[in-house]
Amino acid sequence: MSDNDNTQDTKASEESKVLSFDKQKPTTESKAPKKQAKQKPKQKQKITIGWALGMLILILIAISFVAAPALEAFIGKRSSSSFVFGKYGKENISYAYGNHFYNQVQNYADQYKGSSTDGTQVLYQIWKGAYDSTVIYTAVNQLAKKAGIIASDEAVRRAIINSGVYDKDGKFDVETYQKASTDAKNNLETQIRSSFPYQIVVDDIGSVLSSKAEAGYVASLAEKGRSFNYVVLSPTLYPDEAAARYALEHEELFTTLDISVISLTDEELALSLSKDILLGVTTFEEAAEAHSLDSFASAGGAVGRLFYYAIENNFTNPSDAALLLSAKDGDLLGPFESQGAWTIWRVNSHATAPDYTDEATLYGIKAYIAAYESEMIEPWLDEFAEQLKAEAMETSLDEVALSHDLDLISVSSTPYNAAQSSYMADLSYTDPAGMLSQAASSSAVALTLYTSAEETLLDPIKVGSSLILVETGTDEKDEGMGSYITMFYDYLSGSQNQQDFTQALYTSENHQNDFLSTFFSVVLGQ
């Protein structure tokens, strides 16, 4: 792997990672410390139907995703509880027993059975998916009602037969139908009758035929492709000597410490836990696992070795962060105010001066310079790119890549997908490193890539903090792709029409979206 590979930017960022307290553990999953800490009595949370419902679902999701029957048992068929998550026009988007929103929650819960994803995240995905589906369902039904679309008795009967509910050996069975309860029959009929207008509208949108001329034009675009080769010139190529000189002038920034952290939103709790850790009532690890709200809690608060600049960024007061530099092994510091949280720190291994011969250290230094002192790297990178371009003009881009130990990235033939059509491929499918694809998100760059002469070395293109040197390849024709588009264009176009239609409905000014606030208050009980 050469120094210019874009994966090295990732490596550098990992070496210089910054703490984040954004990822919180659900409070319901907190473990009590093995040694009980003495704390001030907390005010009891008001138990509401919404809170109870949210906690019940959290528990159900965490164990086996048997949400459907449990929710029914909890709410009950006689419950009049209804929770409003938004509006479409004058109609509420509400969750109540047996309605469309309710059924969608059950369906999405079934889809997430066995998921290993964080419980709160899964819960959000279930309810958000159900909400979005209900918004579209409500909007389409309003349009259908306005257009006077209703389900005829004959159409409903056919839909019941075709539903498969009463099938035996793959065919509708009269005896099975007759044995079904009246309630079951009525429920199915009601469900089909209410969803029929929705389905008619959606099917009509998706069945609009396109002209042969349109299909032919798109097919002609899809079958014409162009290949490319390129190299990446990233800030990691900045000379080690220059990076080391900068670090010597700012040595404190690149000092490293091995640390652990506990992050909390309650200052009193932070003070109490800090005292209990010092007294030996609980250990740092136990307190972190039980109470910390950041992503390091599951590891007992262990963060690992970081550059000081990455640590300092998490403190409201830089003077508090500076105390870590003089701390000895095992010292406990804080609580300190840290970007909306209160943090307790333990220095596992004292501050160590940077080793300028260490590759990982140099990556971290260069990452810092690229992020905070870009005016130092950019001129050098521009000059280096022009130098390599001149060399490539004399030899080839392949030779330049070889002589400078750079990876030559090859992109197979790709059509000019100017409109980013979903009907055909684009560079996001064919570019293995993703840098050319990112550059082509600019319409001006994309136009240059496809209108320049074949086998032409282009001027350096800026992508993030890097530059890429691109050589256009040859134009090729893929008649198979053209035939595919021609054959399936009506289907592809219909699917796109449905997507555009539903997106327009969802983003309409008729849609009042209160999902997030209601989700937190009703489902999570916050």
Q: Give the Cα separation of 415 and 226 in Å (integer).
A: 6
Per-domain residue ranges for the chain?
49-207+513-523, 224-236+364-477, 256-352
Measured distance between the N- and C-terminal CA atoms of the chain, rounded to whole angstroms: 48
At 425, the pLDDT band (50, 70, 90 cuts) reads confident
Portion of the chain with pLDDT greater than 90, in percent: 51
Task: Please check the confidence at residue 285 and state whether its pLDDT lies above 50.
Answer: yes
Cβ atoms of residues 3 and 406 within 8 Å: yes
The residues near 415 (Cβ < 8 Å, ≥ 6 apart) are: 221, 222, 223, 224, 225, 424, 425, 426, 481
Between 46 and 341, the higher pLDDT residue: 341
Between 481 and 233, the higher pLDDT residue: 233
Q: What is the pTM of this model?
A: 0.54
Task: Please check the confidence at residue 28 and state whether its pLDDT lies above 90.
Answer: no
Cβ atoms of residues 324 and 351 within 8 Å: yes
Class of domain 256-352: alpha beta
Task: Please check the confidence at residue 192 and state whether its pLDDT lies above 90.
Answer: no
Q: Give the Cα separation of 184 and 177 in Å (integer).
A: 10
Cβ atoms of residues 354 and 361 within 8 Å: yes
pLDDT, average across residues 427-456: 94
- Mean confidence (pLDDT) of the chain: 82
pLDDT at res. 54:
47
pLDDT at res. 479:
73
Task: Please check the confidence at residue 220 and state whether its pLDDT lies above 90.
Answer: no
Q: Give the Cα separation of 363 and 16 in Å (integer).
A: 8
Between 197 and 62, the higher pLDDT residue: 197
pLDDT tens string 127-180 = 999 999 999 999 999 999 998 988 888 888 888 998 899 999 989 988 998 999
DSSP code of residue 465: T
Cβ atoms of residues 60 and 67 within 8 Å: yes
pLDDT, average across residues 450-477: 95
pLDDT at res. 1:
42
Cβ atoms of residues 239 and 11 within 8 Å: no
Backbone angles phi, psi at 457, to 5 degrees: -85, 120
pLDDT at res. 403:
95
Between 239 and 77, the higher pLDDT residue: 239
Give the H or E element holding residue 347.
Answer: strand 341-352
Task: Please check the confidence at residue 69 and state whether its pLDDT lies above 60.
Answer: no
pLDDT, average across residues 216-225: 79
pLDDT tens string 93-128 = 999 988 899 989 999 988 887 766 667 788 899 999
Q: Residues 71-87, buried b or exposed e (16+ Cβ, 10 A)?
A: beebbeeeeeeebebbb
Task: Please check the confidence at residue 73 and state whether its pLDDT lies above 70.
Answer: no
Q: Give the Cα separation of 475 and 180 in Å (integer).
A: 64
The residues near 227 (Cβ < 8 Å, ≥ 6 apart) are: 410, 411, 412, 413, 414, 473, 474, 476
Q: Would the CA dihedral through 143, 145, 149, 154 be positive or negative?
A: positive
At 461, the pLDDT band (50, 70, 90 cuts) reads very high
Strand partners, 476: 225
Which residue, among 256, 345, 241, has the nearest Cα to 302 in the 3D structure?
345
Q: Residues 261-284, buried b or exposed e (16+ Cβ, 10 A)?
A: bbbbebeebbbbbbebbeeebbeb
Task: Please check the confidence at residue 6 and state whether its pLDDT lies above 70.
Answer: no
